[in-house]
Structure 1
Amino acid sequence: MAKELINEVLLRPAVELYSVAACLLAATLCIFAPWSLALSSEIGYVTAAGFSVFAFIRFKDAREVLRYRRNIRRLPEYSMTSAQIPISRHSLFIGLGFKWQQRHTHRLMQTYRAQFRVYVEQPYLYQLARKLERQLEFIPSLYWISKITGSHNPLNPVRPLPPVGGMPRLHGIELHEQEVTLPLGERVGHTLVLGTTRVGKTRLAEIFITQDIRRGDVTIVFDPKGDADLLIRMFIEAERAGRLDELYIFHLGWPDISARYNAVGRFGRISEVASRVAGQLSGEGNSAAFKEFAWRFVNIIARALVELGHRPDYLQIQRHVINIDELFIKYAHYYFEKNEPKAWDAIVQIESKLNDKNIPRNMQGREKRVVAVEQYLSMSPVYDPILDGLRSAVRYDKTYFDKIVASLLPLLEKLTTGKIAQLLAPNYSDLNDTRPIIDWMQIIRQKAIVYVGLDALSDTFVASAVGNSMFADLVSVAGHIYKFGVNDGLPGADNYAKVPINLHADEFNELMGEEFLPMINKGGGAGLQITAYTQTMSDIEAKIGNKPKAGQVIGNFNNLIMLRVRETATAELLTNQLPKVEVYTSTVMSGATDSSDPTGQTAFTSNTVDRLTATNVPLIEPAHIVSLPKGQAFALLEGGTLWKIRMPLPKTTKGEKIPTNIQALADYMRTQYTDSTEWWQQSDFASNNHNLPDDLIEESGSTEDIQPIEEREE
């Protein structure tokens, strides 16, 4: 087989087998009947060896053609258990694949030509078997025939294709695969994974998360919708790595067994508290002014709480948004006792003289003590920025004040209603509550594993608000680590040491806000390595509401992995970055010309020309990405190298053990959380009880009662 020809053709009969048969026949004659070829026995053996070597070479060429033709129709199975996933200290395993080059585009273009259709389409027997199965479906007595033809046994010549869809030819055009890995040093540039629903994003996330956990790195997983199999996979891998003590589960849907987290309790600057709260409000159009006022008002409350020695949380902020008078009086007591102990005597005298007639109109409805303090401050040369801020808030007309904070109160109500309040506003002094309280700095120092389930299908708004607050908190922690190191303040430690922080954000468009931009733009300096998963580029634009900002987000991801997508614009995000290449087409042209000389010896002349033409085409088209099978992807890695990848299918193994409370939580997640594309199958939330059973709550603090299960990976 001529391998160096420009116009390579592998979709053809394996003509090399004729040479193999001839060489084997000649070798047989040389050994058993050398006299028939006028050879002596000794020379016959040598000649037979030569024929055998040539037959072996030609057989290898024929085998390559046959394998190529097989792979175009059906790829060999590629699967592994999670325990078989290779773990490296230098690279991240992705799957099997190859570098996509010009020859692969050339081969792919050939598969669309009519003359090669017989090698690309499924044979007639395969199509007949599928037709027969459809007809026998309604004949119970003959259904056993369908079971035989539909079995996946390799001995079945008409076995059905794997249920992955797409075109196998996209990967079958290369016979020599290799392990595709991403150097760990490249992960700090962040990775974006795009793919429509149910094409393998979660499976890819499991492969990455498994390696991060077993490598011993900080692993943080944001899962808005709540994938039960992903939670179980994290538990199993944490147990396999001996890191169960480092595993924390935060889940808004199941607060009884969830860890607790104060989204506004830790900050580098006090203004971050207001940014995390007001950042969830709409800033479009006329709402911008209300958002700015809400930010200022929350900032005033947070500064006062910190000065009074309290750690801010959503409950305290809500309490003082509803009743700012209480905080104003409390802070005034604190300030005057510290700076003017005799001020209260004057304030009490002013308060005794107040009545409905001499209270200013803008202060009507306020407590008399508030009015008295405000009047004292107006007569006294006292200046304190926090006290002045509180004073400016209470001087608003109460009715007007309630209107301008109206947009803030619904957000705080959603974050402080029911048992969620116990998660987002933990009581640090309650020793009877054994649920851990997570803090990002401690998580990073401990090199822990965190699963964050945000229950987005139950309440998208709360999930988005909590996710944004967590991202903002992480940005603040990353900024501190960048400046001072992860061990800042610890005795006898390297203050400027940094550790890799692997952040996996599934459906990250649901969580993304303004705080996500600095995280991906500057978080790499602190060790943040973000892997974000979403469906389309439009999801990002719709969430941010600004196309240039969406482009800014996408531009900060140095690695791009694209599974099957349904949006052409998303596919063009990859294809527009690739060059054009030349593909070659061989065209046979023949003709005949009659002779015009009646007396000549030639009646006509003929000629045949084999013309080779070159055409510039894109390296891959958006249509190829739309046609990818499940579990396959194109990837731009390490500065723009294009790889074609397929991920290993999961193998089930028995004997893994998890606690009954985690198993029950996963079962509830499976029954309550359905994919958005199958909304008609969702459970009736109004009729279902969302509280965990009593026995589950009792077991939530123990991992002793464990039961073997079968790994579930989809």
Structure 2
Amino acid sequence: MTPARIFNAFRPVHEARAAAAWCLAACHAVALALLVGVDGRVCLAIAAGAAAMAFWRGAQARSLWRFKLGLAGSRVVRLPCDRFDRVRRSLDGRLWLGWGFRWQPEHTQLCHDLLKRSLHEVYPPRWVLRLHGRHDDPHEAKGLGWVQGLAPERDVVVPMAALEGHTAVLAVTGALKTVLARLLVYQLASRGDAVFVLDPKGDKGLEQVCRDVAARLGDPSRFARFHAAFPSRSFRFDALANWDRETQVASRIRLLMGGQPDDPFNAFVWATVTDVVRAMKRLGRRVTLQSLLDTVRSQDAAEALAEEVLQAWFGQADVAAAASPARRPPSARGGPFNNPRLVHWAHRFRTEVPPHERPPDITSLLAALEADRGWFAKMVVGLTPVLMRLTAGDLGPLLSPDHTDLADPRPVHTTRQLVEGRRVVYFGLDALSDTSVAEGLAALFLSDLAATAGDLYNHGPADGVAPRRVHVLCDEWGDLVCEPVVQLANKGRGAGIVLYLFGQTVSDLVVKLGDEARARRVLGNMNNVIVGATSDSDTLDFVTRKLGETVVRRVTVSQGAGQKTEDAGLEYAATRQASVTEQALALVPPQVLAGLPDLHYVAIVNRAQVFKGRIPVLDLAAPSPAP
């Protein structure tokens, strides 16, 4: 068995003394040849050998000193976009995530060696730092600055194919997420892809990032803004424009209500909305949140819709007879319908049309309306408040736009238009002011995106439109994650939709989804995880389990001394023994994850590759226009 090799990186730099001694030996050999007259060839050989040894030992000393200086940490870097563009063009479609190194078991070993030492032993003396132009004190830095110095830095470049497996970003507030979003949005948009940023709290920094990216790429019109708190400066969003089957609208509305799909109330709402959408489609009306609310708000409105459907189906015949109470069929008087005209049309529908010729959608709508009025009101009681939240005040014309209103200058967009237009879209949900509305907006946007993803997956993009990836960045997953997110995580890859979920703790996700199993269902679809500084114990457990374990060598030193008196006199004995043992520990210690400095991260890419990196603050200042 090969003996374990023990490397102590925190000892004095003995190699520097050895290099100095070999330099003196080379000088001494030259002096002998010049001053004493010793054979020059012999002295030259000695001097050459000594110089080679001095160079070798000097390189060892330089490497160790560089390692010690690297432990002092690194300062935050502001990267001009002009400089980054020169590098980005050579990435060949890959994504740049700053500077760092591939984490290996030897870095775990160094971490444990460092964690058991005082910072005074780890960081170089202050005079050495000043000699190298460092005037900051690493002892007062935020986090464990020595983590990035465990290995030489290089560019961290990730293939786009790896990110198609979706990415989770975990970090405490102010540690990483906004700056990383800036770096991601710029690179993704510059590829010609559509980028959606969903921000529940209305972070002005994220909105400015999207605006600056579009301006930087030379097309400010690519930026689109939706903000619930500023409707006059938002585009109008046709939330129910993308669907192929009526059941898709009903499923989307059911998602807004939450709860389980097999709940009787949800099942009835799903069926009712399906019937209403079928009726509107038959009449050629646009389905919007406002039109749905107007129809299901009362049974009288639903009966008026059914009357129009029957009248249109019969071809506008006998309208006057339907309006006359005297013409009401005796069997229908006192029946479930309050509308006398609907009674007439329903009677004709059932008496004049053979059962096999009756359209199923009209039959289903009439069956739902024939229920007891009080029962109907109780069953849809959960739907009305949901629709009211999304149609109240300024949100009504914002989410249910009137395409014929030429007086409204705000543009109307659908998700498909935004995707095919390669837009950089910012959605501000204003969760701080109205949490319930923000949750409804998030579910609405994401469910519409899921429907668009399904349409792109089934039919592909429109003619003449090149297929593009769609990147969705969701900030604060504790406010945004819902069933549409799970659908996108499971099935969005085939449609080119890539998710980036930003959060602070795993616990936020568990609370949002209601149980740990559903939270793990979302996390299980995240093939990539980027972790900044975090102190939550559950989050640390999740990350360390995902990172796995490695073997760490521990050195145990034992020593003893004793004395005894024999006939020969006083005897003294001393022993010293060192043993090496191996122990399986986390690949990245939890203390390191909790102590990462700002803008530093540990990333798991493609389920197996682990990187330690840091990112710069990308300066997106747009170039000056040409004169």
Question: Normalized against structure 1, the TM-score is what?
Answer: 0.78
Matched with 1:237 is 213
Letter in 1 for 2:156: V
> Would the aligned equivalents of 1:415 and 1:424 in 2 still touch at CA under 8 Å?
yes
Structure 1 position 334, deviation (Å)? 4.5
Match of 2:291 in 1: 316
Q: Does 1:222 align with 2:225?
A: no
Q: 1:118 aligns with which of 106, 120, 129?
A: 120
- 2: distance between equivalents of 1:190 and 1:166? 28
C-alpha change, 1:350 and 1:84, in structure 2 (3 Å) is same
Q: Secondary structure at the match of 1:8?
A: coil
What does residue 240 of structure 2 align with?
Answer: 264
Distance 1:389 1:163 in 2: 71
Tell me, which stretches of 5 or more residues in structure 2 are unaligned?
none
Corresponding residue number in structure 2 for 1:440: 415
C-alpha distance in structure 2 between counterparts of 1:291 and 1:253, whole Å? 30
Of 400-409 and 293-302, the range deviating more from structure 2: 400-409
- Tell me whether 233-242 or 550-559 shows the greater mean CA deviation: 233-242
Q: Retained in 1: the 8 A contact 2:212–2:620?
A: no
**Secondary structure in structure 2 of the residue aligned to 1:75:** coil
Summarize the alignment of residues 1-400 of structure 1 with structure 2, pairs less than 5 Å apart.
Answer: 6-31=5-30, 34-35=33-34, 39=38, 47-48=46-47, 50-85=49-84, 86-87=87-88, 88-114=91-117, 118-120=120-122, 159-161=136-138, 165-174=142-151, 176-283=152-259, 288-339=263-314, 341-344=316-319, 346-350=321-325, 359-360=333-334, 362-363=336-337, 366-377=338-349, 379-381=351-353, 383-400=358-375
Partner of 1:582: 551
Deviation of the 1:188 alpha carbon = 1.3
- Letter matched to residue 614 of structure 1: E
1:463-502 paired onto structure 2 within 5 Å: 463-487=438-462, 490=463, 493=464, 498-502=467-471
> Which secondary structure state, in structure 1, belongs to the residue aligned with residue 546 of structure 2?
coil
Q: Larger relative contact order (C-alpha < 8 A, sep ≥ 6)?
A: 2
Equivalent in the alignment of 2:493: 524
Describe the shift of the 1:337–1:309 C-alpha distance in structure 2 as closer, same or farther (beyond 3 A): closer
- CA-CA distance at 1:327 after TM superposition: 4.9
Task: State the 1:593 CA deviation.
Answer: 5.1
CA distance 1:651–1:161, shift in 2 (3 Å): farther
Q: 1:456 offset after TM fit, Å?
A: 1.6
Task: Using the TM superposition, give the Cα deviation of residue 405 of structure 1 relative to its aligned residue in structure 2, in angstroms.
Answer: 2.0
Contact 2:102 2:612 in 1 (8 A): yes
Structure 1 pair 409–309 and aligned structure 2 pair: CA distance change class (3 A) = same
Q: Which residue of 2 aligns with 1:538?
A: 507
What is the distance in 1 between the residues matched to 2:240 and 2:400? 9
SS of structure 2 residue aligned to 1:486: coil
Cα distance between partner residues in 1 of 2:606 and 2:567:
72
Q: Contact between 2:228 and 2:428, CA under 8 Å: does it hold in 1?
A: yes
Distance 2:177 2:382 in 1: 36
Does the residue aligned with 1:515 lie in a helix, a strand or coil? Answer: helix
Which residue identity does 1:419 align to in structure 2?
Answer: D
1:361, 1:338 → 2: CA distance?
Answer: 22
Q: Which moved more, 1:276-285 or 1:294-303?
A: 276-285
Aligned-pair CA distance for 1:47: 5.0
Residues 68/576 of structure 1: CA separation in 2 closer, same or farther (3 Å cut): same
**1:686 corresponds to which residue?**
none
Kept after mapping to 2: 8 A contact 1:362/1:397: yes
CA distance in 2, matches of 1:358, 1:582: 82
Cα distance change of structure 1 residues 654 and 447 upon mapping to structure 2, 3 Å threshold: closer
Give, in angstroms, the shift of residue 341 of structure 1. Answer: 4.9
Amino acid at match of 1:250: F
Q: 1:327 to 1:271 in 2, by over 3 A?
A: same
Where does 1:545-694 land on structure 2 (aligned, <5 Å)? Answer: 545-592=514-561, 594=563, 597-599=566-568, 603-648=571-616, 650=617
**d(CA) in 1 for partners of 2:351 and 2:130?**
93
C-alpha separation in 1, matches of 2:267 and 2:384: 14
Deviation at 1:432, TM superposition (A): 3.0
1:619-656 per-residue CA deviation (whole Å, 9 max, x = no partner) reads: 223332222222111111123111112122x2668676
**Which one-letter code corresponds to 1:68 in the other structure?**
F
Output the CA distance in 2 between the equivalents of 1:404 and 1:9.
Answer: 72
Structure 1 residues 334 and 404: alpha-carbon distance in aligned structure 2, compared to 1, 3 A threshold = closer
Specify the code of the residue in structure 2 equivalent to 1:12: R
Q: Deviations over 1:394-424 (max 9, x none)?
A: 3334344333322211111111112211210
Verify the 8 A CA contact 2:71 2:122 in the aligned structure 1.
yes
Q: Give the gaps of 5 or more residues in structure 1.
A: 127-151, 658-705, 707-714
Write out per-residue CA displacement over residues 116-162 of structure 1, whole angstroms, 9 at most, x where no aligned residue: 65313797999xxxxxxxxxxxxxxxxxxxxxxxxx99988763459
Contact 1:441 1:477 in 2 (8 A): yes
CA RMSD of aligned residues (A): 3.3
Deviates further, 287-296 or 41-50: 41-50
Could you tell me how far apart the structure 1 residues matched to 2:127 and 2:60 are? Answer: 27
Q: Give distance in 2, aligned partners of 1:161 and 1:655.
A: 34
Aligned-pair CA distance for 1:451: 1.6
Q: Which amino acid aligns with 2:182?
A: E
Superposition deviation, residue 14 in structure 1? 1.4
Q: Secondary structure at the match of 1:111?
A: helix
Distance across 2 between alignment mates of 1:8 and 1:538: 40
> Helix, strand or coil: the match of 2:115?
coil
Q: Which moved more, 1:74-83 or 1:632-641?
A: 74-83
The answer as to whether partners of 1:441 and 1:486 remain within 8 angstroms in 2 is: no
Amino acid in the other structure paired with 1:166: G
Q: Is the 8 A contact 2:490 2:525 kept in 1?
A: yes
Q: Is the 8 A contact 2:279 2:305 kept in 1?
A: no
**Sequence identity (%):** 27
**Alignment CA distance shift 1:199-1:154 (3 Å):** farther
Question: How far apart are 1:498 and its partner, in Å?
Answer: 3.3
Q: Which residue of 2 aligns with 1:514?
A: 483
Distance 1:37 1:459, change over 3 A: farther
Moved more, 209-218 or 33-42: 33-42
CA distance in 2, matches of 1:555, 1:64: 41
User: How far apart, in 2, do the equivalents of 1:401 and 1:368 lie?
Assistant: 19
Find the residue that maps to 2:60 and give its secondary structure: helix
Closer/same/farther in 2, CA of residues 177 and 476 from structure 1, 3 Å limit: same
TM-score normalized by structure 2? 0.88
For residue 458 of structure 1, give the secondary structure of its aligned residue in structure 2: coil
d(CA) in 2 for partners of 1:424, 1:91? 37
| Count of paired positions | 616
Aligned-pair distance for 1:190?
Answer: 1.0
SS at match of 1:171: helix
